[in-house]
Amino acid sequence: MENIEIDGTTVENIISSEKLYSYGMTLLAIVLMIACGFAVTKIILKITDKALKKSTADPILYTFVRNVIRVAAIIIIATMCLGALGIQIHTIIAVVGAAGAAIALALKDSLANIAGGVMIIITKPFGKDDLIDIGDVSGQVQDIDLFLTTLKTYDNKTITIPNGIVNTSILVNHSKESRRRVDCTFGIGYHDNIGNVKKIMREVCDGNKLILKDPEPLIGVANHGNNAVEMDLKVWCDTDDYWDVKYYLEEKIKTAFDENGIQIPYPQMDVHIKTDGAAK
């Protein structure tokens, strides 16, 4: 079959040129969509940052919101690009719906972490720089993003915990309240005078200005142990002073006991041997 020519150009070449032009325009449109999409996202992030800084929102919210905006922007840009390629949105939804169970199963942990992050932001159980315990892990909150919460431990290690675990674990926040109670227990001998011991412990408490007068220190007998009478000491201080007060009490009360002849008993066992014969 002979090629049909129009002004010296075959129809086949014309069609090929039109396809090439169409593909080129589609590619250009996609590039423009990506460029404009990221530019708009950058502007939105700047506006969001300014709004958050002017508000009273916890600084830990900044990173989380920025990550949500970025992920949403990527999804929107990707959807627009697929539409430019001729892939209809309802087709994508149908495919995702058909594979929904498999996708949900594969992304179960990731979705749980995202949901956990959202719950943390809504309920606000802790904020940036708070000292918290999550299970067996203790540290200062550094950051929270879509999937992870980052802590810095007291010995300067960085630990990341999935938000899903954070949301379902028992959490202790040591920084939530401005005051914190310091609890100490000291053992004394059964022969020691309890009134004198309480006086010594109170004098030690009075010697530290970090220990609050209200509520006043609580001193009393906690238990009659096998080897010692256990004395409880409970004092209040500002949260930031907790460890200073704790170490002060442990050291100074031991020193005061030594100076006043009060010995802290150690576990011991008395063994009595009975014989059938007369004692010699």
Please state the domain count of the chain: 3
Q: Which of 128, 144, 173 is the last residue of a domain?
A: 173
Nearest 5 degrees, angle CA 58-CA 61-CA 64?
Answer: 170
Average pLDDT over residues 116-142: 89
pLDDT at 7 over 80: no
Buried b (16+ CB within 10 A) or exposed e, 100-131: eeeeeeeeeeeebbbebbebbbeeebbbeebb
pLDDT at 4 over 80: no
Q: What is the CATH number of the domain that holds 118?
A: 2.30.30.60
**Does 266 reside within a domain?**
no
Average pLDDT over residues 19-29: 77
Q: What is the CATH number of the domain that holds 204?
A: 3.30.70.100
Do 91 and 9 fall into the same domain?
A: yes
Q: Which of 88, 106, 124 is the last residue of a domain?
A: 106
pLDDT in tens, 158-167: 999 999 999 8
Do 97 and 67 fall into the same domain?
A: yes
pLDDT in tens, 101-114: 666 666 677 778 88
pTM value?
0.60
**Does 278 reside within a domain?**
no
Model confidence at 204, pLDDT cuts 50, 70, 90, reads very high
Sheet with 148-152, side-by-side order of all strands: 158-162, 148-152, 137-144, 131-134, 171-173
Looking at residue 5, what is its pLDDT?
Answer: 47
Helices 60-84, 108-123: crossing angle, 10 deg rounding: 140
* Residues 7 and 43 sit within 8 Å (Cβ to Cβ): no
**Does 206 reside within a domain?**
yes
Domain of residue 239, residue span: 179-259
**Does 269 reside within a domain?**
no
pLDDT at 9 over 70: no
The token duo for 139 is: 């540290």
Do 88 and 10 fall into the same domain?
A: yes
Best mean pLDDT range from 74-83, 109-118, 193-202, 220-229: 193-202
pLDDT in tens, 73-104: 888 888 888 777 777 767 666 766 666 666 66
Q: Which of 173, 199, 218 is the last residue of a domain?
A: 173
Do 47 and 97 fall into the same domain?
A: yes
User: Chain-wide mean pLDDT for the chain?
Assistant: 83
Do 50 and 95 fall into the same domain?
A: yes
Do 208 and 165 fall into the same domain?
A: no
Do 14 and 95 fall into the same domain?
A: yes
* Residues 163 and 147 sit within 8 Å (Cβ to Cβ): yes
Q: What is the CATH number of the domain that holds 14?
A: 1.10.287
Looking up tokens 């053992």 gives 187
Do 225 and 135 fall into the same domain?
A: no
